[in-house]
Amino acid sequence: MIGLDTNVLVRYLAQDDEDQSKSATSLIEKNPETSHFYINHIVLVELVWVLQGAYKLNKQNTVNIIEKFLHTAQFEVQAQNNVWQALIAYKEGAADFADYLSGQNNLTHRCQYTATFDVKASKSKNFMLLE
């Protein structure tokens, strides 16, 4: 298994740098039956920020991309069930994907809630607004 950095996924998805995109595509598509790649939570959070910030993708398109990684056997996503739960909350909520993923990770580690000053995140059942 090979771990992927955010910049490799961005080049693979965006195809906006000839040399780097070619290298990323070659790595990922070389042997799809035998090549497996690991995507950790930090990479997913960075990917969402880059896709929405630099590439101006909307929430639904970003969610669709993350879901494709989750559905593709070639990719192993860290704590995949937490990512699914975070995506569900993200689709319906106003907070950032990173907030929902953080809250879900904390919940699965037996936290009662995640304390926050983020009003948007506090609307989720996994958070408690501090005043």
Provide the whole-model pTM: 0.93
Residue 2, Cβ neighbours under 10 Å: how many?
10
| Residue 118 shares a structural domain with residue 68 | no
Q: Is the same domain home to 106 and 70? A: no
Mean pLDDT across the chain? 97
Q: Report pLDDT digits (tens) over 92-106.
A: 999 999 999 999 999
What is the DSSP secondary structure assignment for residue 109, as one 8-state letter? T
Query: Mind listing the pLDDT tens digit for each residue in 4-17?
Result: 999 999 999 999 99
Is there a single domain that holds both residue 56 and residue 9? yes
- State the pLDDT at residue 33: 79
* Co-location of 61 and 7 in the same domain: yes
Same domain, 10 and 73: yes
How many C-beta neighbours within 10 Å does residue 62 have? 20
| Number of domains the chain contains | 2
Provide the pLDDT confidence category of residue 122 given band limits of 50, 70 and 90. very high
Domain that includes residue 112, residue range: 93-131
Do 72 and 97 sit in the same domain of this protein? Answer: no
In Å, what is the CA distance from 122 to each residue of 50, 55, 112?
A: 24, 28, 13
